[in-house]
Chains A and B, each alone.
Chain A
């Protein structure tokens, strides 16, 4: 039962990743100059967010999550991959980073926003980065 549902989940994941890729392609093709500016701002956030994510004193995501480009990651929490399919709505991802206890009272993920471990701006940045994974 569990295996089957896992398989199902992975199949849907693959499909949604493919869909996301296709969407991205069409988006970047049709993007005009205005959209370019916006995407520049987004990529700056992504870059800054990467620093927050990897810093031991800030996000320290690698303590628990596997993350592309990170050495010796922990395995306490799910690997940070195909994030757009896991969180189609980026707001939900942000909320999860802000305080994971809301969705799961027993979560061991530190409430980065609620406990002000990092700033609101840093949460925006790290969300952008994680969502790009």
Chain B
């Protein structure tokens, strides 16, 4: 009996494996959703944008109290000033982002010309450099101001990452991000999936592990642990350090591809940045 079961499960795994490896991004996304809907049947899909607070009742009350006086507001205000203030050459962010500040839902996207995943922080710095300004740092500092403002202006827009079919490099980037997500890393040997899929909703010490669905909707985020607003790639860095892996460069290819995959998984979910977390 046991052997038969084992054989069966191995068979299912092998079949699933070949299916999953050749899956399209859209199939991946549906499976991702299904996973969380099965594990947390009482959570409305849209509520996953609230991270661990979608499943942690006690934490949620605390968080809602914090959100009444949002700690990221001063950052947004400074960001608005940055947005309005022209660069030394007289031009400004407005020229780089002609559709206005509420465009976070258009990132990340595949940049065909540069053959890479373009993220909002990268686009901001390309804008600055094209206008003779210094690039901002990608984890801490004033990039979080402008990002907070743009995130706020993008609230309610729907995550809609596209992997263009006519450019195989785009799919490669997506696949690399997917592989990153499922790869064990560091001395502690965890993959992203170990914490945020396999053990989502469980407690690591007193902290509840958040589901990956909705992980990308609320950046930048004010983290009480940081005492400030930080970028998504700063958070990636922290995760990698926690498993005792050497983190990759913020806005380097690895993290941008990871962001591409992870954001795709949240397609259909509304943006609610900037966020506030413990």
Contact = CB atoms under 8 A, between A and B. Distances in A.
Interface string B238-260: 00000000000000000000000
Chain A: interface size category = 10 to 19
B189 A72 contact: no
B88 to A, nearest CB: 49
Contact of B187 (A76, A101, A110): A110
B189 A76 contact: no
Interface string B187-215: 11110001100110011111001000000
Interface string A102-133: 00001010110001110000000000000000
B189 A74 contact: no
B185 to A, nearest CB: 11
A17 interface: no
Contacts of B188: 110, 115, 117
A58 B73 CA distance: 40
A47 to B, nearest CB: 23
B187 A74 contact: no
A110 B187 CA distance: 8
A75 B189 contact: no
Nearest to B204: A74
A64 B190 CA distance: 13
User: For A62, A75, A101, which residue has the most chain B Cβ atoms within 10 angstroms?
Assistant: A75
Given A62-B205, A76-B204, A108-B195, 7 more contacts: A63-B205, A75-B203, A101-B189, A106-B198, A108-B199, A110-B188, A110-B189
Nearest to A115: B187
Contacts of B190: 108, 110
A48 B263 CA distance: 46
Contacts of B199: 76, 108
Contacts of A63: 204-205
Contacts, number: 38
A74 B198 CA distance: 14
B206 A72 contact: yes
9 contacts: A62-B205, A72-B206, A73-B203, A76-B199, A108-B195, A108-B199, A110-B187, A110-B188, A111-B189
A117 B187 contact: yes
A108 B187 contact: no
Contact of B198 (A75, A108, A110, A116): A108
A108 to B, nearest CB: 4
A82 B45 CA distance: 39
A63 B207 CA distance: 9
B205 A73 contact: yes
B194 A74 contact: no
Contacts of A76: 199, 202-204, 209
A76 B198 CA distance: 9
A89 to B, nearest CB: 19
A108 B194 contact: yes
Nearest to B202: A76
Contacts of A115: 187-189
> What 8 A-B pairs are tightest by C-beta distance, nearest first?
A108-B194, A72-B206, A110-B188, A76-B202, A74-B203, A74-B204, A76-B199, A75-B203
